[in-house]
């Protein structure tokens, strides 16, 4: 397994070990010989177990979902460029401030995923962003992966990096106020996917999840099955079932506490270039079938990514999935599908901030209603219905 | 490939859902000839075909009992037997709204290089046998894999091997119209505590479902028959509520909601214990997207056997005992059992240390007819 090289202790982690005793699961070397056959009870002895379960439950609360604003600086730059703004820290700070100080956001949003820069930023008045979120009962989260790279030996596929030093980084993020983490890996249907790519995606997620929990962060598990391709919805279902079977198996082997994780799957839809579009009801049926076949009820919440769907599409599909009770909270973790209208309204101008925040609330409320199965598309703007699929989209 | 979608898919889904009807459960009456011999020995009854037939007739014709059952697992011999009046057992069951099931495994053999761990045999010609059983009226099947807890057990080999066997059996059943009951029994024997049992159960069930998924088994057309999560037989007992919490937590962590029903094995618990534990589980206020029910052998028949003693004049008395146990367990699936059915006999522990249905030497001939022509009425 290629990952073994990533687990070597580096200077930062040895420093961390010296400063902080490892959690109670570690045993002294003299017991290792017998310990080899006595596997740890699944995370129930982790000092963070109770907090992880509580945090996951809070994020998976009825009528609420996640606002994903963890775009890397480069990606955020694309967003700013689309409204004619330069990619400066000041602009990024201004944009995130607009979003995170929206009054009443906590009624519809239970968690916000931040990029590292944002986690340490404050409002222009000097109030920490994490405190703004806390005051609205929104849990701060942090993107911890270090992006995708080409996967050697695969069929032009990618793998996600970020395990090096992840433990100490996670501990630092926890200190700063983050309580959940996110790691996004991808799987490509047109490229196979190869067994290698699926195994790597699942294994990386499992390792990340175990490390996150060890350091007090609820891991959001995100294997995105990319929309790119002309495949049918049946093919997507096959691939999704394969990927999630592998993910859960490795999560179990890594002794991850399922009551303390959240999932961020893609919905089961046809590929973007497939000749037939699927209705929200069909997407809901296929997606729920997949979830029922793969997700143990111990998992408290499933927060869908929007992956290029239009704002309205993403909301309609979520609504269709919530027409009857599910054994897990079925909700949203949207970035583009929550922010598109906001950006267009703001245009970078301070006089538009209030209107832009209102636009965010409109979208957040729509998705809140969808989570409760009570959304109707009447009165939605044309802008909100515009698809956002970009072929070959790189994060 | 996604899950099986062949010609039996809809029927499998419907039958599995039916077996998982709340208020009903399974009578496991599939004791092999050898095993039923042990039961008979305990009540001084001769192990001949007529007595085996008589016992099963007693059970299946108990007035009012079939309403509490959704399925009965049969041994091959019984599938082709009839009442004294000449009515095929499968017809008696079907008319009573009960699906006939069939044990299809051929017992366990030891895995070389392990400390007495086993794998289950029976895949050879299984498809053909299943098709014949389907033609004879069976609609579900059962295959028992056995694992044990010890210092180095269950080993990764034993888990892998048993999970793979269960998955191969399951898909072959589905291809031939039988709902597979997936039974990875982790024996209760040992001094381990309930935490250890939970940890092992989680590990085994995760491997089982990974294997089922890899083999494209249609989960909506299966049932699970697991052990409850309890302390080992040589460890201190705990309350029914504790067993219920641990068991349901383990299942929440491992069993996808697509599985319609979880039908517990009783594994040596007394009749009353088995009912009380099931009842406690169904009273828990927590996420339970599958039916929690029973598939009991000893825990439904023990007192009945004693009351019968092999004597025709005792049939009515024995049937009353059986009816009481069936009703009690039906109530337990609804969380409505108030306890006390059956008196002292029902509380007798049925644990036999190192209980084996049959462990065969690896080169022993497979017993019994492999394929038996359906009897013409």
B199 to chain A: closest CA residue? A41
Q: Is the dihedral of CA B14, B16, B17, B22 positive or negative?
A: positive
As a whole number, the mean pLDDT across chain B is 93
Full 3-state SS string of chain A: CHHHHHHCCCHHHHHHHHHCCCCCCCCCHHHHHHHCCCCCCCCCCCCCHHHHHHHHHHHCCCCCEEEEECCCHHHHHHHHHHCCCCCCHHHHHHHHHHHHCCCCHHHCEEEEEECHHHHCCECCCCCEHHHHHHHCCCEEEEECCCCEEECCCCCCCEEECCCCCHHHHHHHHHHHCCCEEEEEEEECCCCCCCHHHHHHHHHHHHHHHHHHHHCCCEEEEEEEECCCCCCCHHHHHHHHHHHHHHHHHHHHHCCCCHHHCEECCCCCCCCCCCCCCCCHHHHHHHHHHHHHHHCCCCCCEEEECCCCCCHHHHHHHHHHHCCCCCCCEEEEEECHHHHHHHHHHHCCCHHHHHHHHHHHHHHHHHHHHHHCCCCCCCCCCCHHHCCCCCCCCCC
First-last CA distance in chain A? 26
How many whole angstroms separate alpha carbon B245 and alpha carbon A298? 13
Q: At A205, give phi and psi (nearest 5°).
A: -60, -40
Taking an 8 Å cut-off on Cβ atoms, the answer to whether B210 and A258 are in contact is: no
Residues of B in contact with A42 (CB under 8 A): 199, 202, 253
Lowest-pLDDT choice from A78-87, A339-348, B153-162, B337-346 = B337-346
Tell me what pLDDT residue A394 has.
62
Residue range B195-205, pLDDT digits in tens: 999 999 999 99
Residue range B253-268, pLDDT digits in tens: 999 999 999 999 999 8
Res. B47: pLDDT tops 60? yes
Helix axis angle for B240-254 and B271-283, nearest 10°, is: 60
How many whole angstroms separate alpha carbon A72 and alpha carbon A77? 8
On whether any CB of chain B is under 8 Å from the CB of A386, the answer is no
Residues of A in contact with B198 (CB under 8 A): 41
How many whole angstroms separate alpha carbon B180 and alpha carbon B273? 27
Res. A9: pLDDT tops 80? no
Taking an 8 Å cut-off on Cβ atoms, the answer to whether A245 and B214 are in contact is: yes
> From the CB of residue B153, how many other CB atoms can be counted at a distance below 10 Å?
19
Q: Is the dihedral of CA B125, B128, B131, B133 positive or negative?
A: negative
Residue whose token pair is 């009578």 = B27
* B256 → closest Cβ in A37, A39, A294: A294
Res. A350: pLDDT tops 90? yes
Cα B324 to the chain's mean position, in Å?
20
CA distances from A12 to A173, A208, A212, B345 (A): 15, 17, 17, 66
The more confident residue out of A298 and B372 is A298
Q: Which two tokens stand for residue A242?
A: 């394969």
Rounded to an integer, the average pLDDT of B145-153 is: 97
Q: At A31, give phi and psi (nearest 5°).
A: -95, -5
Res. A42: pLDDT tops 60? no
In chain A, where the domains are located: 46-385
Residue range A102-118, pLDDT digits in tens: 999 999 999 999 999 99
Query: CA-CA-CA-CA torsion for A158, A164, A168, A169, nearest 10 degrees?
Result: -40
Res. A52: pLDDT tops 50? yes
Residue range B168-197, pLDDT digits in tens: 999 999 999 999 999 999 999 999 999 999
Res. B129: pLDDT tops 80? yes
Res. A300: pLDDT tops 60? yes
Taking an 8 Å cut-off on Cβ atoms, the answer to whether A241 and B2 are in contact is: yes
Q: Which two tokens stand for residue A149?
A: 């790279």
On whether any CB of chain B is under 8 Å from the CB of A107, the answer is no
Residues of A in contact with B220 (CB under 8 A): 293
pLDDT band for position A386 (50/70/90)? confident
Q: Say if pTM beats, i.e. exceeds, 0.80.
A: yes
Full 3-state SS string of B139-194: CEEEEEEEECCECCECCHHHHHHHHHHHHHHHHHHHHCCCEEEEEEEECCCCCCCH
Query: CA-CA-CA-CA torsion for B68, B269, B368, B140, nearest 10 degrees?
Result: 40
Tell me what pLDDT residue A30 has.
43
Res. A57: pLDDT tops 80? yes
B73 SS3 class: strand
Instruction: Pick the residue of B154, B194, B248, B258 with the most A CBs within 10 A to test the interface with A by mutation.
Output: B258
Res. B214: pLDDT tops 60? yes
Contacts (Cβ under 8 Å, ≥6 apart) of B15: B99, B139, B140, B179, B221
Tell me what pLDDT residue B367 has.
39
* Catalytic annotation, pick one of B24, B103, B106, B225: B225
Q: Which two tokens stand for residue A268?
A: 């089961």
Q: What is the CATH number of domain A46-385?
A: 3.20.20.70
How many whole angstroms separate alpha carbon B293 and alpha carbon B264? 6
Res. B71: pLDDT tops 90? yes
DSSP-derived letter for residue B28 is: E
Query: Distance from A69 to chain B by nearest Cα, in Å?
Result: 31
Tell me what pLDDT residue A390 has.
79
Tell me what pLDDT residue B32 has.
93
How many whole angstroms separate alpha carbon B286 and alpha carbon B292? 12
Cα B126 to the chain's mean position, in Å?
19
How many whole angstroms separate alpha carbon A296 and alpha carbon A14? 36
Query: Distance from A3 to chain B by nearest Cα, in Å?
Result: 22
Taking an 8 Å cut-off on Cβ atoms, the answer to whether A293 and B249 are in contact is: no
Contact B297, B266 (CB under 8 A): yes
Tell me what pLDDT residue A14 has.
39
* Catalytic annotation, pick one of A222, A246, A259, A380: A222
First-last CA distance in chain B? 42
Beta bridge partners of B73: B28, B101
Rounded to an integer, the average pLDDT of B289-294 is: 98
Instruction: Pick the residue of B210, B257, B289 with the most A CBs within 10 A to test the interface with A by mutation.
Output: B257
Listed residue (B39, B89, B91) closest to B304, CA to CA:
B39
Res. B313: pLDDT tops 60? yes
Contact B17, B260 (CB under 8 A): yes
Share of chain B above pLDDT 70, in %: 93
Contact B61, B320 (CB under 8 A): no
Listed residue (A205, A224, A234) closest to A309, CA to CA:
A224
Tell me what pLDDT residue A86 has.
97
Is B225 a catalytic site residue?
Answer: yes
The more confident residue out of A332 and A308 is A332
pLDDT band for position A4 (50/70/90)? very low
How many whole angstroms separate alpha carbon A40 and alpha carbon A35? 9
Interface of A with B in 292-351 (CB under 8 A): 292-298, 327
Instruction: Pick the residue of A255, A297, A327 with the most B CBs within 10 A to test the interface with B by mutation.
Output: A297
Q: Is the dihedral of CA B168, B172, B173, B177 positive or negative?
A: positive
Tell me what pLDDT residue B351 has.
82
Contacts (Cβ under 8 Å, ≥6 apart) of B206: A248, A249, A252, A253, B254
* Catalytic annotation, pick one of A224, A264, A311, A313: A264
Rounded to an integer, the average pLDDT of A126-135 is: 98
On whether any CB of chain B is under 8 Å from the CB of A206, the answer is no
């Amino acid at each position: 397994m290629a990952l073994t090289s990533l687990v070597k202790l580096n200077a930062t982690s040895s420093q961390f070990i010296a400063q902080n005793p490892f959690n109670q699961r570690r045993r002294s070397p003299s017991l290792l010989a017998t310990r080899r056959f006595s596997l740890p009870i699944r995370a129930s002895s982790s000092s963070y177990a109770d907090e992880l379960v509580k945090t996951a439950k809070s994020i998976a609360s009825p009528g609420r979902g996640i606002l994903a604003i963890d775009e890397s600086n480069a990606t955020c730059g694309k967003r700013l460029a689309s409204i004619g703004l330069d990619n400066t820290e000041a602009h990024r700070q201004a944009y995130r401030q607009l979003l995170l100080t929206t009054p009443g956001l906590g009624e519809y949003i239970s968690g916000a995923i931040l990029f590292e820069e944002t986690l340490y930023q404050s409002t222009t008045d000097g109030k920490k962003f994490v405190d703004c979120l806390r005051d609205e009962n929104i849990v701060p989260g942090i993107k911890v992966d270090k992006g995708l790279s080409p996967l050697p030996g695969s069929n032009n596929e990618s793998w996600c990096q970020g395990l090096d030093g992840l433990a100490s980084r996670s501990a630092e993020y926890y200190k700063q106020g983050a309580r959940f983490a996110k790691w996004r890996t991808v799987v490509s249907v047109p490229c196979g996917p190869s067994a290698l790519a699926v195994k790597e995606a699942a294994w990386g997620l499992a390792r990340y999840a175990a490390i996150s929990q060890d350091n007090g962060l609820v891991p959001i598990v995100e294997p995105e099955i990319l929309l790119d391709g002309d495949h049918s919805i049946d093919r997507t279902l096959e691939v999704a079932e394969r990927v999630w079977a592998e993910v859960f198996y490795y999560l179990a082997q890594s002794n991850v506490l399922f009551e303390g994780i959240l999932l961020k799957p893609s919905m089961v839809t046809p590929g973007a270039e497939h000749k037939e579009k699927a209705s929200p009801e069909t997407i809901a049926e296929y997606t729920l079938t997949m979830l029922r076949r793969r997700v143990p009820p111990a998992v408290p919440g499933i927060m869908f990514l929007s992956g290029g769907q239009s704002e309205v599409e993403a909301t309609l599909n979520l609504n269709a999935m919530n027409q009857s009770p599910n054994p897990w909270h079925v909700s949203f973790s949207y970035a583009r599908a929550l922010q598109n209208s906001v950006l267009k309204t703001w245009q970078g101008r301070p006089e538009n901030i209030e209107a832009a925040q209102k636009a965010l609330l409109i979208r957040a409320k729509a998705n809140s209603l969808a989570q409760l199965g009570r959304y109707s598309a009447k009165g939605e703007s044309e802008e909100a219905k515009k698809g956002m699929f970009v072929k070959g989209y790189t994060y | 490939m996604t899950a099986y979608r062949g010609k039996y898919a809809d029927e499998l889904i419907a039958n599995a859902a039916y077996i998982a009807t709340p208020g009903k459960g399974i009578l496991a009456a599939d004791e092999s000839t050898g095993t039923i011999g042990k039961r008979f020995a305990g009540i001084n009854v001769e192990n001949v075909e007529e007595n085996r037939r008589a016992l099963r007739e007693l059970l299946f014709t108990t007035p009012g009992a079939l309403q509490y059952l959704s399925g009965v697992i049969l041994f091959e011999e019984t599938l082709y037997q009839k009442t004294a009046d000449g009515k095929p057992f499968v017809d008696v069951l079907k008319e009573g709204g009960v699906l006939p099931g069939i044990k299809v495994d051929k017992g366990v053999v030891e895995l070389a290089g392990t400390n007495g761990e086993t794998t289950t045999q029976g895949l050879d010609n299984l498809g053909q046998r299943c098709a014949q059983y389907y033609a004879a009226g069976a609609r579900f099947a059962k295959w028992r894999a056995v694992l044990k807890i010890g210092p180095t057990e269950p080993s990764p080999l034993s888990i892998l091997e048993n999970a793979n066997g269960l998955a191969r059996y399951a898909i072959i059943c589905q291809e031939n119209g039988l709902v597979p009951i997936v039974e990875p029994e982790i024996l209760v024997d040992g001094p381990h505590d309930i935490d250890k049992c939970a940890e092992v159960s989680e590990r085994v069930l995760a491997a089982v479902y990974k294997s089922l998924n890899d083999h494209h088994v249609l989960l909506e057309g299966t049932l699970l028959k697991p052990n409850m999560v309890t302390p080992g037989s040589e460890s201190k007992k705990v309350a029914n509520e504790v067993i219920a919490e641990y068991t349901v937590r383990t299942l929440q962590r491992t069993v996808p909601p697509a599985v319609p029903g979880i039908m517990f094995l009783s594994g040596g618990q007394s009749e009353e214990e088995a009912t009380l534990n099931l009842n406690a589980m169904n009273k828990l206020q927590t996420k339970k997207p599958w039916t929690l029910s029973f598939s009991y052998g000893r825990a439904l028949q023990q007192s009945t056997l004693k009351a019968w003693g092999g004597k025709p004049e005792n049939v009515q008395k024995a049937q009353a005992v059986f009816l009481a146990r069936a009703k009690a367990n039906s109530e337990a699936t609804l969380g409505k059992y108030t306890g006390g059915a059956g008196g002292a006999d029902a509380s007798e522990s049925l644990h036999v240390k190192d209980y084996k249905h049959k462990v065969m030497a690896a080169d022993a001939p497979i017993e019994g007819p492999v394929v038996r022509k359906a009897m013409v009425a």
